[in-house]
Amino acid sequence: MNSWYSVRLARWIWSLLWTRRAAWALVCLVSLITLYYQWENWRSARELAGVRQRMVERLGTDDPLALMPPKVADEENYFANPVLESWLRVTDPKMGQMQYTAPSHALLPPGFIQPEILDSADGEIERLVLDAWMKKRGGQGDETAATVLARELGDGNGLLPKLAEGLNKPFSIIKPGPREALEAAGDNPWGAVIPNFSGLSDFQRQLGLHLRSAALAGDTAKTASTALIMLRVSEGTARGGMIGCLVPLALHETSFDALHAALSHPAWTPESLGRLQVRLGQFDDLQQYQLAHGQEILGMFFQLAYWRSHRAEMGELFASRSTKPWVWERLVENFLNCGLAQGPIGWHDANVAFYADCMLEQLGPAGPEAWLTAAPRCEKVLMRSREANSWPNPRRFLGAIAIPNVGTIAEAAAENLFRRRCLIIACALEKHRLKHGGFPASLEAVKEDLKLYTITDPARPSMEMGYRLESGGYLLWSAGPDARDDGGQAEKDWLWRMRLAPERQ
């Protein structure tokens, strides 16, 4: 009997006009939502496929491992040096985080007062201010400042001879590298951890002080080995991605300043100059930037694509990292996070496509001159990103926040490459001076010594850099960011000036 009444009640309710309309409206709403989801999925899949094709055409691959540094056995890796390995510590066992930590003043004696370095302009050498240093430390004696400095620095608390081990190994890659980190995380790109290097800039400056001091004192063996140590440490941090590009750029800048000063002193032999040339010629700062940018695109493309099948985890991750101060901002952010986790899969694909498209535009075309137009491309991309997120947009939100500002990195890499090539040329010119007693009138005289190296102007890859003799040395210059040769004028061209130390003039 109860069942009979229930059926009649249901029929009576269904017969009501408003109930049928409500049901029909619900069916229509569900249908429209389903169609919208399908439309978003379809058009976003097309966007993603188009960007992936562009990525393959520009980078030659869509494999995130393709541009990563290779796995290298310890027998071939300078970073397997026992001193460097002893500085590697696990900082968070749960997360697997590791960090190299160089001891403070690792290469300096206790209580050592560091001499100042005189800043330079117009491509001049940055030199140690030793007179003021001698007054500051007290006690003059009969020894020269260079002798006192060399004696106090010594062999860097015994570390420099140890760091000189393995300098001829073919690779220098920080351990563990990206491939090992990805394997350890079970191919989860968000769980892969590459170690940082705490105190590395200060450590590099200490190496630079040892190099300057050794050259000033005429210690040929220490000068040659310290120069190579600096370059190998800088190379080892080029692990890919934007961070793996910025760190070696900064470290190489410190190395180049110290080498510039060291080459002005009589601390070199033809053999040590040749070894330095080879090491300098095995790294190209612009190529490294383009490689790092390409790996950043592939790596983040892979990481964002990973969330496609882990969208619930993504929503939890972003919710836990919310930094918005106002309630309404958090509500908007939570809405977007929820949309990315529960909305059409097309929203996620659209974010990945937007990110990759912007990053490819920032990278620009292949070739050694692409850096000249990198800054306006970057500004254009940043404007696109700001416009796309001028209102809450679930198709752009995730992709936009992943886009870094790389506007000046390409120019910095080009300037570093200019200075690197100047050092390569300087080695050849110094060998010429040792043999003939003076610098040549043109680079044609050292052409044979430079035939294995690319020494063209980074701003005009088909042309040589400018060169002219000056009192006590010479000047090298590049046309710089405007790619217009102004004859080596200050503030218009990039300059690199060699003035021999007074004892050599």
Out of 380, 407, 434, a domain closes at 407
| Residue 459 forms part of a structural domain | yes
**pLDDT score of 310 more than 80:** no
pLDDT in tens, 87-140: 998 887 777 788 999 998 999 999 999 999 998 888 999 999 998 999 888 766
pLDDT in tens, 396-433: 877 888 888 887 899 999 999 999 999 999 999 999 99
Could you tell me the strand order of the sheet in which 473-478 lies?
A: 466-470, 473-478, 494-499
The packing angle between helices 409-436 and 270-281, to 10°, is 160
| Residue 2 forms part of a structural domain | no
Angle value at C-alpha 267, between 263 and 271, nearest 5 degrees: 90
| Residue 220 forms part of a structural domain | no
436 plus 332 within the same structural domain: no
| Residue 369 forms part of a structural domain | yes
402 plus 312 within the same structural domain: yes
Classified as helix, coil or strand, 275 is: helix
399 plus 444 within the same structural domain: no
H helices of 343-396, in order, are 345-363, 374-388
Out of 368, 389, 407, a domain closes at 407
391 plus 447 within the same structural domain: no
| Residue 426 forms part of a structural domain | yes
Residue 261 vs residue 329, higher pLDDT: 261
Question: In the 3-class helix/strand/coil scheme, how is 40-99 assigned residue by residue?
Answer: HHHHHHHHHHHHHHHHHHHHCCCCCCCCCCCCCCHHHEHHHCHHHHHCEEEEECCCCEEE
Residue 141 vs residue 91, higher pLDDT: 91
**pLDDT score of 262 more than 60:** yes
Answer for the pair 175, 80: CB distance below 8 angstroms, yes or no: yes
Highest mean pLDDT among 170-179, 258-267, 376-385: 258-267
| Residue 102 forms part of a structural domain | no
- What pLDDT, on the 0 to 100 scale, is given for residue 251? 95
| Residue 181 forms part of a structural domain | no
458 plus 388 within the same structural domain: no
**pLDDT score of 156 more than 90:** yes
368 plus 421 within the same structural domain: no
- What pLDDT, on the 0 to 100 scale, is given for residue 226? 98
349 plus 369 within the same structural domain: yes
**pLDDT score of 328 more than 70:** no
Structure tokens at 408: 């000046």
- The helix or strand, by DSSP H or E, that contains position 100, with its residue range, turns out to be strand 97-101
* Domains identified in the chain, total number: 2
Structure tokens at 76: 């071939």
315 plus 374 within the same structural domain: yes
Q: What is the pTM of this model?
A: 0.88
Q: What is the mean pLDDT of the chain?
A: 87
Q: What is the mean pLDDT of the segment spanning 371-385?
A: 92
Out of 381, 407, 433, a domain closes at 407
**pLDDT category, 18, cuts 50, 70, 90?**
low
| Residue 129 forms part of a structural domain | no
Q: What is the mean pLDDT of the segment spanning 70-98?
A: 89
| Torsion sign (Cα): 137, 142, 146, 147 | negative
Q: Range with the lowest mean pLDDT among 171-185, 203-217, 257-271, 420-434?
A: 171-185
- What pLDDT, on the 0 to 100 scale, is given for residue 163? 97
443 plus 491 within the same structural domain: yes
pLDDT in tens, 208-261: 999 999 999 999 999 999 999 999 999 999 888 888 899 999 999 999 999 999
Q: What is the mean pLDDT of the segment spanning 256-285?
A: 96
Interacting residues of 302 by C-beta distance below 8 A, sequence separation 6+? 64, 189
| Owning domain of residue 381 | 291-407
Q: What is the mean pLDDT of the segment spanning 265-276?
A: 96
396 plus 423 within the same structural domain: no
**pLDDT category, 487, cuts 50, 70, 90?**
very high
- What pLDDT, on the 0 to 100 scale, is given for residue 22? 72
309 plus 334 within the same structural domain: yes
pLDDT in tens, 33-63: 889 889 988 999 999 999 999 999 999 998 8
498 plus 421 within the same structural domain: yes
DSSP 3-state percent helix, strand, coil across the chain (nearest 5):
60, 10, 35
Answer for the pair 233, 387: CB distance below 8 angstroms, yes or no: no
